[in-house]
Chains A and B, each alone.
Chain A
Amino acid sequence: MSQVAENQSPLQPSSQHDEVVSPWLDAWRKFRKNKLALFGAITVIFFIILGILSPWIAPQGINDQNMANTLQAPSSSHLLGTDDFGRDVLSRIIHGARISLWVGFLSVVGSIVMGCLLGILAGYYGRWVDTIISRLFDIMLAFPSILLAITIVAVLGPSLQNALIAIAIINVPNFGRLIRSKVLSVKQEEYIMAAKAIGMKDSRLLMKHILPNSISPIIVQGTLSIGTAIIEAAALGFLGLGAQPPQPEWGQMLAESKAYITTAPWTMIFPGLAIMLTVLGFNLMGDGLRDALDPKMKH
């Protein structure tokens, strides 16, 4: 754990004379020093493990109803209580981690793929391609994003998969714009000119040089977006437009238990806490990554 650089006084910046530090290693060192970011990362990893292992560690199935045992307060047999179907809330939250993270991760990957494609095209080719794509992004950003998501789901029909698609679509402009601006600056660099001069094909140039050199802001934005995407999925679930019962999606669990807010608050509090912690984790981790990956923030 402990490295030489760690216990130095802030007045005496690390010199690193003979050691050659790659940018990634440097970022990792900076990240590791950021306590909040580390906490975020640990939370995220915790929920990821929970999600992956859910079929084995959840004490009960997602739909093991027991109508003789409904709305029980937390106890030793049900650590987080039971809901109005007598289902174990803890088990449902554990299974729900898998759904929420899956939706968050996959929708962001979808957004990144679509966003990068459009953003690179717009940034590299410019002119009318840029005009069309950028205006398209402007139009999409003119809508409140959740409204756009609701519209998309209404057209496709309510299901978890369609909610995922909707969330992926509404986040495309964020990534698209980001990568477009990055490409605009990268393509002015000498090495790109050099590559062009030796007759490298556009496709190879884009994939081999421009994309790798534009990607770091995407990693930061991607991490932050997973948190947002999880909230959006929960919001759609709450409105009955995302996961369909009996899937234990957290937002849907909130919606189902809102009638019991005074009589059985645990049915609401714990799914809410799960959403909050996960999103907080992704946000803290994303902030940490931004600080760590920003080359201007050398110490």
Chain B
Amino acid sequence: MKKWKLAMMMLLIFTLSFALIGCGGDDDESGNGSDEEKILIFGRGGDSVTLDPAKATDGESLKVTANLYENLVTYGEEDTSINPQLATEWEVSEDGLLFTFKLREGVKFHDGTDFNAEAVVTNFNLWASDLESYYYYNSQYGDGNNGTIIEEVKAIDDYTVEFKLTRSQATFLQNMAMDSFGIASPAAIEKYGEDFKKNPVGTGPFKFEEWKEEERIVIVKNEDYWKEGYPKLDKVIFKPIADNQARLNALFTGDIDLMDGISYTDIAQVTSKSEFQMFERKSNTIGYLGLTNTREPLDNKLVRQALNHAVNKQEIADAFYGGYAVPAINPMPPLINGYHEGVEDYAFDVEKAKSLLAEAGYGDGFEMELWAMPVPRPYMPDGRKVAQLLQKQFEEIGVTAEIVSYEWGTYLDKAKAGEADAFLLGWTGDNGDADNFLYTLLGKDNIGSNNYAYYGNEEVNDLLVQAQTETDTAEREKLYMEAQEIIKDDAPWIPLVHAKPSVAGKENIINYIPHMTGNESLEKVDFK
């Protein structure tokens, strides 16, 4: 009887251990097989909402469509310069009201229909027909009165399109390159109607294959892609994993090959392992401490300058961004056209700060509130910690800051109403243009909107408005540089850091360059 029990026990143990060994074997299959299909699994924080880029307003949707669609023009691989894509060349009339594009010939949509001038006209007319649904078309090309500044899109011949504008817009091409304005197959739009968002058809390097909601989106190589030799991968699978830590674990166990949205505090774990690497995404953000210019004693320029001198920005970048951030000097990141390299930052100098305070009549310091956002933002993962560091640094010059947080919605409302003394906030650029940072955040016209600091310098506002209609690039940049110089002197903020929301991936991935807009085509990505 006893022997029989023992035998059963042994049998059970054997069966169990074999079953477990079997489980372990599957892991090696994902990714990297060199002879077989090259499959890349991209882990991300959320699923797409739609695969119709023109209707998408979230980054997760555009991350996929950037591989399915192409625009007339596109951004540079590492910056927001304008480069040809579906258009090979273009001309602008003297008054900036007429754009003529020459289109690439021989390009086909994934459904086999031809890409031509008629297709471009159809897309633009569709977007103009429903400004409410096509959010970005309205925000970038709308005239603010339920119309658009694009008066007419005309097919001159099969491969020439002409855009007639009602008024000149300096950022016309810059906007055109946004992922939202990918050209879709008119035949497919007609065929699928409402269901088009789940059956995307473009001209991009990858074709849509399958979308299982909240589980995966699969896109496969477009064999007829017009760019010879691309894409390198056979298949890309986008897999949503909501929790940052769980996604990181999935990367470590080999379930996914790439992940975005890594917590800055986890970067050290990736860089310490030789099988993994970080891909740096260039910054398109600014995190800053606004100094509400209308509140005492921050209405005194000397006080604002003194506070600028008191802050050690490098310390913030190192402590809370894992080094994946650069200290900010101007109110916009360095890769934006018109960024002023020559502006000198207020040096970290406690003595200088104290003497400026004394000069302003606050030799004994003062008390103020220091607002910290309660939620992680792309430009600042932990506002309350940055606030503690700033609090300590201000203490050195005799300024007592009390840290205050409100629920996020309340926080924004109150700051917008000018109720904060000093407040942490930031911005992520939409179209990579200086206007989207400087005018939006610091133009006097935007007080009560995004100009939370109540910075009301008329001269700066005039320069920024002038730049909006200036079509000569060099002239335009000059206006922005002039504005940045004045802004630096006025010190409406303490610009803190430009965060780099980077991507972690396996060591054998090559040619992956995360783009500063947050979305990129994976056509060149390959495995070693």
Contacts and interface: CB of A to CB of B under 8 A. Distances in A.
Partners in one complex: yes
Contact of B389 (A65, A154, A244, A260): A65
B407 A263 contact: no
Contacts of A157: 406
B315 interface: yes
Nearest to B265: A259
A256 B402 contact: no
B318 interface: yes
Contacts of B268: 263
A145 interface: no
B405 A158 contact: yes
Interface string A255-282: 0100110110000000000000000000
A65 B405 contact: no
A104 to B, nearest CB: 23
A63 interface: yes
Given A240-B374, A260-B265, A85 B405 contact: no
B265 A245 contact: no
A259 B403 CA distance: 21
B319 A67 contact: yes
Contact of A244 (B245, B319, B392, B404): B404
Interface centre among B245, B265, B268, B387 (most CB of A within 10 A): B265
B319 A84 contact: yes
Interface residues of B, number: 26
A85 B389 contact: yes
A70 interface: yes
Contacts of A244: 402-405
Interface string B473-494: 0000000000000000000000
B221 interface: no
A262 B269 contact: yes
Interface string B376-388: 0000001011011
A259 B263 CA distance: 8
A63 B402 contact: no
Contacts of B387: 245
Interface in A145-198: 154, 157-158
B384 A67 contact: no
A112 B406 CA distance: 30
B263 A245 contact: no
A6 B298 CA distance: 71
Contacts, number: 53
B265 A240 contact: no
Interface in B73-125: none
Nearest to B391: A246
B384 A240 contact: yes
Nearest to B268: A263
A245 B392 contact: no
B498 to A, nearest CB: 20
Contacts of A63: 388, 392
Interface string A12-25: 00000000000000
Contacts of B403: 244-246
Interface of A is mostly: loop
A262 B384 CA distance: 21
A244 B407 CA distance: 14
Contacts of B372: 245
A263 B269 contact: yes
Contacts of A85: 319, 385, 388-389, 392
A63 to B, nearest CB: 6
- Interface band, chain A: 10 to 19
B244 to A, nearest CB: 10
Nearest to A63: B392
Nearest to A159: B404
A67 B318 contact: yes
Contacts of A65: 388-389, 392
Contacts of B266: 263
Interface string B261-302: 001011011000000000000000000000000000000000
Contacts of B263: 259
Contact of A245 (B245, B318, B384): B384
A84 B392 contact: no
A245 B385 CA distance: 8
A259 B268 CA distance: 13
Interface in B363-419: 372, 374, 382, 384-385, 387-389, 391-392, 402-407
Interface in B225-272: 245, 263, 265-266, 268-269
A251 to B, nearest CB: 14
Contacts of B319: 67, 70, 84-85
Contacts of B385: 84-85, 245, 256
A245 B406 contact: no
Nearest to B315: A67
A51 to B, nearest CB: 23
Nearest to B374: A240
A246 B395 CA distance: 12
Nearest to A264: B265
Contact of A158 (B265, B315, B406): B406
Interface centre among B269, B374, B388, B403 (most CB of A within 10 A): B388
A158 B372 CA distance: 12
Contacts of B402: 244
Contacts of A259: 263, 265, 382
A70 B405 CA distance: 25
Contacts of A256: 384-385
Contacts of A154: 407
Contacts of B320: 84
A63 B403 CA distance: 14
B245 to A, nearest CB: 8
Contacts of B391: 245-246
Contacts of B265: 259-260, 263
Contacts of A70: 319
A278 to B, nearest CB: 25
Contacts of B245: 262
A259 B319 CA distance: 13
Contacts of B374: 240
A162 to B, nearest CB: 12
Interface string B314-330: 01001110000000000
Interface string A82-93: 001100000000
B476 to A, nearest CB: 40
Contacts of B315: 67
Interface string B157-200: 00000000000000000000000000000000000000000000
A245 B269 contact: no
A72 B319 CA distance: 13
Nearest to A158: B405
A52 B318 CA distance: 37
A246 B388 CA distance: 6
Nearest to B249: A262
23 contacts: A65-B388, A65-B389, A67-B318, A84-B320, A85-B385, A85-B388, A85-B389, A85-B392, A154-B407, A157-B406, A158-B405, A158-B406, A240-B374, A240-B405, A244-B402, A244-B404, A245-B385, A245-B388, A245-B391, A245-B403, A246-B391, A259-B382, A262-B245
Given A245-B387, A246-B388, 5 more contacts: A158-B404, A244-B403, A246-B391, A246-B403, A263-B269
Ordered nearest first, which 5 A-B pairs have the shortest CB separation? A259-B265, A245-B388, A244-B403, A65-B392, A246-B388
Interface of A: 63, 65, 67, 70, 84-85, 154, 157-158, 240, 244-246, 256, 259-260, 262-263
